[in-house]
Structure 1
Amino acid sequence: MTTETSPSDPVDPSDPVGCAAAARAALLAAPGPGGRPRRRALARLTDDWLAGLLAAAGAPPGVALVAVGGYGRGELSPRSDLDVLLLHDGPVAGELPERIWYPVWDSGARLDHAVRTVAEARAVAAADLKAQLGLLDARHLAGDRALTDALRAAVLTDWRASAPARLPELRELGRERAERQGELSFLLEPDLKEARGGLRDVVALDAIAASWLADAPRDGLDDAARWLADVRDALHLVTGRATDRLGLQDQDQVAERLGVLDADTLLRRVYEAARTVAYAGDVTWRAVDRVLAARGGRGRRVRRLGIPFAGTGRGSGAVARGAVERRPLAEGVVEQDGEAVLAQGARPAADPVLPLRAAAAAAQNGLTVSYATVRRLAAECRPLPVPWPDEAREQLVTLLGAGESAVPVWEALEAEGLVRRLIPDWERVRCRPQRNAVHRWTVDRHLVETAVRAAAMTRRVARPDLLLVAALLHDIGKGWPGDHSEAGEVIVRDLGARMGFGPEDTETLAVLVRHHLMLVDTATRRDPDDPATVEAVTKVVATLPELELLHALTEADALATGPAAWSGWRASLVEGLVARAADRLAGAGTPPAEGAPTAEQERLAVEAARTGQPALSLRARSEGAEPGAEPMGVELNLAVPDRPGLLGTAAGVLALHRLAVRSAGLRELDPVGAGPVLLLSWRVAAEYGELPEAARLRADLRRALDGSLDVTRRLAERDAAAPRRRGIPTPPPLVAVAPAVASATATVLEVRAHDAPGLLHRIGRALDGAGVRVRTAHVSTLGAEAVDSFYLTDGAGRPLTARRAGEVAAAVRAALG
């Protein structure tokens, strides 16, 4: 490899070109750290040297030397190429370029050069996007400045005129690079320039800004780009080569040169910078998409371009000029221009759950939260109270249950520090590298990816909320010294209480986190036929639901780790161990325990029994809200003399009023000995907007029960009139008949499905149409997942036959489609 001129070579003090070259070589050989001051000093010395070469070559008028590309930006890393254009307005003597290029080559510097007129440069740029990007950074070095100015003006004019056509090409180049090089923030040996989130993406963001169509969010972006460039400087100095790949063997020396504690700290800071760049890119490209769609007539006309992130912009709640389509998603959240933004009446300062509600609504609809909205939420929302209100926990589970769609939403929350507010220990695992070839991700992203995998397994467990939260937190202890499972157990006990989980649920989360490696370790290292092997598992997990959760978490964790962590052989070993443990834990099941009816419920039952008419009560709930805020939900108790179809009818009325069922129970009472009364106890919340008036809800319930209100038809008409909302892939519904041991007096039908408006109404109608009697029902909505159990009998009050139970299950399955 050639090396540049040594500073020890004799230099004639009267030779300005030689002096400039020597000063440049001395700086290159200096052992000091890199950094922006050094890069700029190197660029200035190089400017002086090349300007001297042009003068010494006897350049005639009408000639200019121009720096382009990275050199044009006025910063040079120690081993950077010199991108130089010799610009002229007429014929150039053949020896002139050689008088400039040969001394550069002789010095050992890497030179990328061209000789062109302004018209030729414009023609090359029009045909070659990379050449056009390099010319956007054109900077005058020496010679005819007017010629350089003419080139810059022409190139910028051409770029702004062609940007609507060329930006999609630029985006595709970025995608191709990301596919080849991967994502910088997750690679153990990242390419600082070419990987996603690297220096090449910073150049692309500058090019978008130059187009005047959009601009990147600038907070932290310059610091991130500077740090990546500093690391590349140190890498050049350590290796003595023009390399951009931060190899494992060089990381300790690079860290030492930069004054960083160790290689892990170095990588973590690199990852943080890369995420800043990548997130800025995501935000900016979405802005570009909106502008191009508007220009193409597919969206509203954009009246001001280039300032999408300032003032009362998108997502701030301000009324935009012109007609803007805004579709409600959740309370305080609407969809606009393909993003979730705040509704005009949203009050972030009085609604601490709003960040999670907005995130959950966005993810469940396949959207992301707009940049301006996330910024406003971070600036105005207060921390959640401790313990969290129920809605906050439900919205977190709903967000995680969206699977892949949750990832960009989570990244947006994390970029503005909202995740650290929710989970204080997240900061310790954020961007933490895992020096293990099996792992694809940093610790924090692995946790998110595990939740993504777990979202596809929610039908396998009775408590999808515990599965998703355990998946998100199972490696949270890696931010602390010692065994991460033991540290994680301590953290999760605190977080479980903080999130508002009860003692039993918090204990389950702690068990899952403490023992998330047990099944795979036991299955692969112990004799599966040894009774002690199964005993080791059942000593840890004492119930079948816990075993289900641990099995699903084990698989999700392994799948999120990487291809080498899970295989058919390993899966079969774990499944065999789980089957043996399940056999040992299997026993007679019992319905969920029910407390005694409250005085209010008994009063309603007596009223219904004596009058033969439905009796109901409504109580608003403002749990977790700020004082004076609108109520967040309703507790509804309904007592009705026994009749068929009650559950589906009542659920349909609630759906008509846009009330989402969070939990429900149905049971029989006979308070006065005059015959059974069915008591339904509901906890519901408004999908968005205000809660319905109690009188109107009561009237519609009575009309539906007496047949004067056709709930099914009204719901169908409303759904047909509503615009189709984009959805996300979800696992298919699971409808299964529980084993006979689940109940001695009824047939238990279990339904697990993605929650949707009218879901319980459809189930109730199917059960009514099948001619069975719902003796007891236990309905739960955990995040976005419905986990329901129905205790069914025939007309004579007996459990269903196996054949009849299968037919009923098929009818419910068909109703859920």
Structure 2
Amino acid sequence: MPGDRPGTDPGRPTGGGEPTDYAAERARLLADPAVRGADRRRALAGLADRWLAELFRAAGAPAGTALVAVGGYGRGELSPRSDLDLLLLYQDDLDPELPERLWYPVWDAGAALDHSVRTPAEARAVAGEDLKAQLGLLDARHIAGDAELTAALRSTVLADWRAAAPRRLPELRELCQARAERHGELSFLLEPDLKEARGGLRDAVALNAIAATWLADAPRDGLDAAAVKLSDVRDALHLATGRATERLSLQDQDQVAERLGVLDADTLLRQVYESARTIAYASDVTWRAVDRVLAARANRGRRIPRLAFPFSGAGRGTGAVAKGAVERRPLAEGVVEQDGEAVLAQAARPAQDPVLPLRAAAAAAQAGLTVSYATVRRLAAETRPLPVPWPDEAREQLVTLLGAGEACLPVWEALEAEGLISRLLPDWERVRCRPQRNAVHRWTVDRHLIETAVKAAAMTRRVARPDLLLVAALLHDIGKGWPGDHSEAGEVIVRDVATRMGFDKTDTETLALLVRHHLTLIDTATRRDPDDPATVDLIAKIAGTHSHLELLHALTEADATATGPAAWSTWRASLVAGLVDRAAAQLAGDLRFPVAAEPTADQERLAVEAARTAGPALGLAAQGTPAGAPGVSGAAGTGRQDPGAPEPMGVELTLAIQDRPGLLGTVAGVLALHRLTVRSASLRELDPIGAGPVLLLSWTVAAEYGELPEAARLRADLRRALDGSLDVARKLAERDAAAPRRRGIATPPPVVSVAAGASSSATILEVRAHDAPGLLHRIGRALDEAGVRLRTAHVSTLGADAVDAFYVTDAEGRPLAPGRAAEVAAAVQQALG
């Protein structure tokens, strides 16, 4: 049985062999600079094999016995301070003194020993009860004695492991998760445990055990190299400390780096983190494959394929998709859900669609899925770089991905594992896996940035520009990869990045301000008197506008809460909030809402047509195409002349019509029926010929997935809805009942507020909510049922968030009384759930 060396017994048998020779040869091997890394581990294992075989023979082991290496030693991997994991295997009766004749020379040589003595039946029984023992036996390797006995045991243990895989694999997963909870994630810890932490050497062993079941295998690219790198660091740690330690402590990192010929301790940690992420990501991919295989066996009760690689997946490459045997649900253009993952649609062409990686990532995160390994690999291999500046859709998809909160993390990790993040954001490479030698920080720089975006996603209802908040959260520490003050460096970098992303000059300057001053609020609130008018004046001048101030406040809180528990407290939160309230009061007159642009010539033409005919006038055009231009008589957004170019983002729809109850909700409902998402919209009154006002509704819409609808069909349904022959609400309800949507992710609840004093001629209701099909339809119906008149509306979708402003009056065209305004806001809030 495994155990420590017993007490000294002068009369004990000494056995055979020369322990001092083993110790001397081992010392020479460890001192030889020409033998390093995996070569040294193999040489140490080979030396131990020869020595133990001599001891086995000298001990007089009879026929029917065998000495077997298990665990790490069984894999032929001996670090300088590794235990010798040995099993003395015997078939019949065993001389009770044989183990002592074998083990005592090992102890005399100063070697660490983990030993057991069992028959094959006993070893098999123990493995059946003890998962760790079974994992060790999976790597059993013959050293001396009866080789057939060892081979029979190994064959039996492997057969048992494969037969019991549906039961043992969930147990193995629980074991891995428990280790991760105890030891944390190797790729983020300042003093990581190289063996036990998530992404460490134990997880690499677990992946090999999964492969031995023949049910699934890990993605192998870079996996062996990652395990070798961690093993090399572990060896250097053993030699530097002279102890069998697995924890890479701060005080040992410089010595370990020097032994490995690495520039410094930070470079060492980055290499460790990169290796750990490779193993952790391979583990995630493999466990998802295991889940699919076991679920298929449990749910269908039929025999499953003997080997299911995670990068192929059930049904992929077998014709099952084409035959309809595998269920696929659309998520976005070119992206579908299959087997609980986001994969590419059959018609997707990554080489012709540079936005596809971000669209797939955003769709997956918003649905609470991850992107399949095969899909990420294909996107990395085939997708062309985004043009500069980015198309609007690319920027919005990035914001949508970040806005998914916690669900963004596994998707981001998948993209990063294949190099897609550094391709999208070249400056990311400087902060990737960069350690932060500060006890307050719990993450590496890059993970802190994405964690800050996750925290910011829960605060999007607090700001008028959630897109700028999320992008600023992602980039606020990007300057930490450069010399000097990281806020100042980051300000310079973010201007360049924002311009490449396609933000306009105003938004770029806002992002630069947020990055430059992301620490200003908390530093000022904790180091200066927040009641001092000069302090308030400083913050007000830095922010400049109420919108900037609310963005700085949300970014400050997201940054601090993502840093770690020591960086944010109730006291700090109250100091910052108090300072923000005082600065907000000083900027109160700055509150702004969108002002409609002057109508275009085409919009005025439609308004004149509607006024003269007393009927609706409708114009449709692809984005960037004048209304009524050639090419819109087919699909509403089709106007492409280059077949290889990406689809336009959407279609511009303009409707001029005399005012009537429920107009906004009706038109929005028709768009929802055609699976069109509203990217932006405005509503205003015009009186083009002095015959009375008409309403002008201007929309920018995009297909949720698939092609845009035929223009003629869209026009027909709009006319039917307006004349009452199409019950939009009933059709939407029937569609949702027939095909209920996936639940998706949890999002912050909608916020409906009254902007008091923002307008003298109307009451402004501001709605901030998660964008969803039919959202504007529900808002329009709620306003109609509340009996208010909608005079003007400004609708914008920023990533996955809708930020809308509705100017409403009573029937006589006057602003609502405060109590009445609150009632209407509550009614809209209730309609949005």
TM exceeding 0.5: yes
Q: Is the 8 A contact 1:664 1:680 kept in 2?
A: yes
| Residue number in structure 2 paired with 1:6 | none
**Aligned pair in 2 of structure 1 residues 367, 298: CA closer, same or farther (>3 Å)?**
farther
Partner of 2:252: 250
Q: Could you tell me how far apart the structure 1 residues matched to 2:211 and 2:422 are?
A: 31
Match of residue 702 from structure 1: 719
Change in 2 beyond 3 A, CA 1:590/1:216: closer
What does residue 732 of structure 1 align with? 749
**1:469 aligned to 471, 479, 489, which one?**
471
Question: Contact between 2:365 and 2:408, CA under 8 Å: does it hold in 1?
Answer: yes
Check 1:320–1:40 CA distance in 2 against 1; reply closer, same or farther (3 A cut): farther
Equivalent positions of 1:756-775 (< 5 A) are: 756-775=772-791
Q: Is the 8 A contact 1:635 1:683 kept in 2?
A: yes
Shift of 1:811: 1.1
> Per-residue CA shift, 1:177-223, capped at 9, x if unaligned?
01110000111100000000000000100000000010000000000
Match of 2:506 among 499, 504, 507: 504
Change beyond 3 A, Cα 1:209–1:321: farther
1:318 is displaced (CA, Å) by 8.1
Among 74, 77, 95, which residue is 2:76 paired with? 74
Contact kept, 8 Å, 1:209 with 1:306, in 2: the verdict is no
Amino acid at match of 2:621: R
How big is each residue's C-alpha offset from its partner over 1:320-354, in whole Å with a ceiling of 9 and x where there is no partner?
66711111111111111111111111111111111
Residue type of the alignment partner of 1:66 = V
Q: Distance in 2 between matches of 1:356 and 1:795?
A: 46
Match of 2:26, SS? helix
Contact kept in structure 2, 1:17 and 1:53, CA below 8 Å:
no
Instruction: For residue 375 of structure 1, report the CA deviation from its aligned partner.
Output: 0.5
Following the alignment from structure 2 to structure 1, what is the Cα–Cα distance between the partners of residues 318 and 660? 50
Residues 545, 590 of structure 2: 8 Å contact kept: no
1:655 aligns with 2:657: no
CA distance in 2, matches of 1:335, 1:793: 45
- 1:529 aligned to which of 528, 531, 541: 531
Distance 1:565 1:757 in 2: 39
Say if 1:317 and 1:343, in contact at 8 Å, map to a contact too.
no
Shift of 1:32: 6.8
> What SS does structure 2 have at the residue aligned with 1:369?
coil
Displacement of 1:305: 2.3
Instruction: Give the Cα separation in 1 of the matches to 2:313 and 2:667.
Output: 47
What is residue 231 of structure 2 aligned with on the other side? 229
Question: Do the aligned residues in 1 keep the contact of 2:218 with 2:309 (CA within 8 Å)?
Answer: no
Q: Could you give the per-residue CA deviations for residues 121-157 of structure 1, whole angstroms, max 9, x where no partner exists?
A: 1011001000000000000111111111101100100
- Deviation by residue 1:623-666 (Cα, 9 ceiling, x = unmatched): 99974544431111111112221111100000000000000000
2:702 equivalent to 1:685: yes
The Cα offsets for residues 6-49 of structure 1, whole Å up to 9 and x where unpaired, read as xxxxxxxx977764453224324557774111110000000000
Instruction: Kindly indicate whether residue 37 of structure 2 is the aligned counterpart of residue 35 of structure 1.
Output: yes
- Distance in 2 (CA, whole Å) between partners of 1:814 and 1:744 is 27
Match of 2:632 in 1: none
Pairing of 1:103-118 with structure 2 (within 5 A): 103-118=105-120
Cα distance in 2 between the residues matched to 1:532 and 1:350: 56
Q: 2:375 aligns with which of 373, 376, 382?
A: 373
1:546 aligned partner, one-letter code: H
Equivalent in the alignment of 2:358: 356
Partner Cα separation in structure 1 for residue 149 and residue 616 of structure 2: 88
Aligned-residue offset at 1:59:
1.4
- Equivalent residues of 1:605, 1:677 under 8 A apart: yes
Corresponding residue for residue 199 of structure 2: 197
Q: How high is the TM-score relative to the length of structure 1?
A: 0.96
Q: Percent identity, please.
A: 79
Give the corresponding residue for 2:542: 540
- Detail structure 1 runs of 4+ shifted over 6 Å in the superposition: 14-17, 315-318, 622-626
Give, in whole Å, the separation in 2 of the partners of 1:635 and 1:689: 17
TM-score (normalised: structure 2):
0.94
- Per the TM alignment, residue 303 of structure 1 is displaced from its structure 2 partner at its CA by 3.8
Answer yes or no: is the 8 Å Cα contact 1:21–1:46 preserved in 2: no
| Structural mapping, 1:5-84, within 5 Å | 19-28=21-30, 30=32, 34-84=36-86
Residue 815 of structure 1 is matched in structure 2 by: 831
**Counterparts of 1:626 and 1:257, CA distance in 2:** 57
SS at match of 1:450: helix
Q: Return the alpha-carbon distance in structure 1 between the equivalents of residues 449 and 317 of structure 2.
A: 29
CA distance in 2, matches of 1:305, 1:758: 44
1:260 maps to what in 2? 262
* Contact 1:314 1:341 (8 Å CA) reproduced: no
Contact 2:20 2:109 in 1 (8 A): no
Residue in structure 1 matched with residue 770 of structure 2 by the alignment: 754
- C-alpha contact (below 8 Å) 1:315/1:373 kept by paired residues: no
TM-superposed CA distance for 1:793, in Å, is 0.9
How many residue pairs get aligned? The number is 805
The structural deviation recorded for 1:319 is: 2.9
User: SS of the counterpart of 1:527?
Assistant: coil
Contact 1:33–1:257 (CA under 8 A) maintained in structure 2: no
User: What letter is aligned with 2:707?
Assistant: E
When residues 759 and 20 of structure 1 are mapped into structure 2, their CA distance, relative to the original with a 3 A threshold, is same
Equivalent position to 2:321, from 312, 319, 327: 319
C-alpha distance in 2 between matches for 1:522 and 1:508? 20
Q: Aligned partners of 2:800, 2:497: CA distance in 1, in Å?
A: 21
SS at match of 1:616: strand
1:98 Cα deviation (Å)? Answer: 1.2
Q: Is the 8 A contact 1:750 1:788 kept in 2?
A: yes
Match of 2:153 among 148, 151, 154: 151
1:89-168 matched pairs, under 5 angstroms: 89-168=91-170
8 A Cα contact 1:457 1:552, kept in partner: yes
1-structure distance, mates of 2:766, 2:206: 53
Q: Is residue 635 of structure 1 aligned with residue 637 of structure 2?
A: no
Structure 1 portions without partners, runs of 5+: 4-13
Deviations 1:686-736 (A, max 9, x none): 000110000000000010011000000000110111134132111111001
The 3 A distance-change label for structure 1 pair 318 and 617 is farther
Q: Is the 8 A contact 2:679 2:702 kept in 1?
A: yes
Question: Within 2, Cα distance between the matches of 1:451 and 1:632?
Answer: 25
- Report the counterpart of residue 738 of structure 2 in structure 1: 721
Native 8 Å contact 2:19 2:109 kept in 1: no
Distance 1:314 1:469 in 2: 36
Contact 1:316/1:341 (<8 A) preserved? no
Instruction: Sort the Cα spacing of 1:481 and 1:802 in 2 relative to 1 into closer, same or farther, 3 A.
Output: same
- Residues 265-274 or 718-727, more deviating: 718-727
Alpha-carbon distance in structure 1 between the residues aligned to 2:394 and 2:246: 44
1:309 aligns with 2:304: no
How far residue 502 of structure 1 moved from its aligned partner, in angstroms, is 0.6
Of 421, 424, 443, which aligns to 1:422? 424
Structure 2: tracts of 5 or more residues without a match: 6-15, 624-636
| Aligned partner letter, 2:61 | A
Local SS of the residue matching 1:636: strand
* Counterpart contact for 1:178–1:196, Cα < 8 Å: yes
**More displaced, 577-586 or 309-318?**
309-318
CA distance in 1, matches of 2:803, 2:560: 26
Aligned to 2:174: 172
Change (3 A) 1:768 1:315: farther
Can you list the C-alpha shifts for 1:455-514, whole angstroms capped at 9, x where unaligned? 000000000000000000000000001100011001100111111111000000000000
Alignment of 1:383-398 (within 5 A): 383-398=385-400
Please, what is the CA RMSD of the aligned residues?
Answer: 2.0
Q: Distance in 2 between matches of 1:709 and 1:670?
A: 29
Secondary structure of 2:542's partner? coil
